[in-house]
Amino acid sequence: MAVSQNDNVTWLTQEAYDRLKEEYEYLSGPGRTDIAKKIEAAREEGDLRENGGYHAAKDEQGKMEARIFHLRQILDSARVGEAPRAEGIVGPGMTVTVRFAGDDEEVTFLLASREESGAPIDVYSPNSPLGSAINGKKIGEKATYTLPNGRQNTVEILEAVPYIGN
């Protein structure tokens, strides 16, 4: 199922919530203990200015603490279930099919948070330029957004249905 963010609420499927909670509990418990042991072992090797193992362990600790902080934010604002949505209107948790201007090919993707990157289809963030432009649009409507290179692109909404998983 999808993960989406709106109105400072992160909608998670039970599976996604459990997975993130398990990762948080590991990182904030045994993960912290393990990295502290690595740092201590590297510290005992001598001069810290030239100790690559120490610096690598400290870098790993920083990344882990950032992930713990991010997971805590997600879990604190999480609601388990499905975000309110209506078929035919683009929103987080919807499978969206669009056609880019000047192209006959259709593209289908899940509009959801990157935390759902395990989905079997491409996942686009609702906060991305494309996601922001199409959010709230109805089938048949067009949306224009700015690409990273500064150029404008237009898409037509062909379909928007709730994501039902595999």
Residue 112 sits at φ, ψ, to 5 deg, of: -165, 175
Quote the radius of gyration of the chain (alpha carbons, Å).
Answer: 21
Report the mean per-residue pLDDT for the chain.
84
The Cα–Cα gap between 80 and 99 comes to 32
| Domains of the chain, earliest start first | 4-80 (1.10.287.180), 94-162 (3.10.50.30)
User: What does each C-alpha distance from 103 to 98, 120, 131, 160 come to in angstroms?
Assistant: 10, 24, 19, 19
Residue 23 sits at φ, ψ, to 5 deg, of: -65, -45
Using one digit for the tens of pLDDT, what is the confidence trace for 23-54?
Answer: 999 999 999 999 999 999 888 887 777 788 88
Q: pLDDT class for 8, splitting at 50, 70, 90?
A: low
Q: Is the pLDDT of residue 97 over 90?
A: yes
- Rounded average pLDDT over 144-163: 91
The Cα–Cα gap between 134 and 52 comes to 47
Residue 104 CB contacts under 8 Å (≥ 6 apart), including other chains = none
**Residue appearing with tokens 């990762």:** 23
Q: Is the pLDDT of residue 105 over 60?
A: yes
Q: pLDDT class for 11, splitting at 50, 70, 90?
A: low
Q: What is the DSSP letter of 81?
A: S
Neighbours of 90 (CB within 10 A): 24
Which pLDDT value is given to residue 155? 95
Specify the amino acid at residue 134. Answer: I
Instruction: Work out the percent of the chain whose per-residue pLDDT is above 70.
Output: 85
Closest-CA residue to 7 (of 83, 89, 86): 83
Element (H, E) at 32: helix 32-43
- The tally of CA atoms less than 13 A away on the side-chain side of residue 40 is 6
